[in-house]
Amino acid sequence: MFRLGALPLSVMSESTTPALPPQPTEVQRRAVPSRAVIVAIGLALAVVALVADRVTKHLALEHLSETERIPLLGDWFGLQLAFNTGASFSLGSEMTLLITIVGILAVIAVTIAIIRTRSRLWAAGLGLVLGGAVGNIIDRFVAEPGGGRGAVTDMLAYGNWFIGNVADFVIGVGVGLIIIAVIRTPTVRTTDAADDADDAENAEDAAAAEVVAEEPRGDTKA
């Protein structure tokens, strides 16, 4: 009869220590943009959209007429000056101040969303929405009668449907990018309950591994 010695500590450790998840490579780390870069993308597009909106509105006030349309694509699209006291498609023209307040709240919410997002596509879409919204809100205060009740300057005539402006256009593009981002985003659990469940599962795994490591190993006889 002979007694086998205890297994080496290194062997025990290898058999009881749970495998660690693979760590991201340096290339993968560099491929993920930082939050500062993502925020910069959103704010930069917001500034571009805002400048484009203000410039085109200034040019429209200087060179376009409310009674004459300049055709660019026949009767489908042209340039014509118009003023809108309501929201899109002239809806809510009697609630200009309320629309302004809602717009300001939307600007605050979109700005917070840009700061918190981790996606460049989301940041781009939100940035365009932000720039367009700010452009139209400025009109509410600088156009007569002012005080949040001013009319928005429009100049892009879409057939006989409606007349909009660059701010409306970039907001539409931004919403389109956000929809694409939503479609492309994989389903993830983001609720507190899901996080708690993950924490509990990880704690159970750690406890099980600790129990296995501390189990007494009997002597083997032959």
Q: Which residues are catalytic?
A: 154, 168
- 69-95 burial: b if 16+ Cβ within 10 Å, else e: beeeeeeeebbbbbbbbebeeeeeeee
Torsion of CA 140, 141, 145, 151, to 10 degrees: -20
Euclidean distance between CA atoms 9 and 7, whole angstroms: 6
Q: Distance between CA 221 and CA 117 in Å, rounded? A: 62
Strands (E), 55-211: 70-71, 77-84, 152-158, 162-164
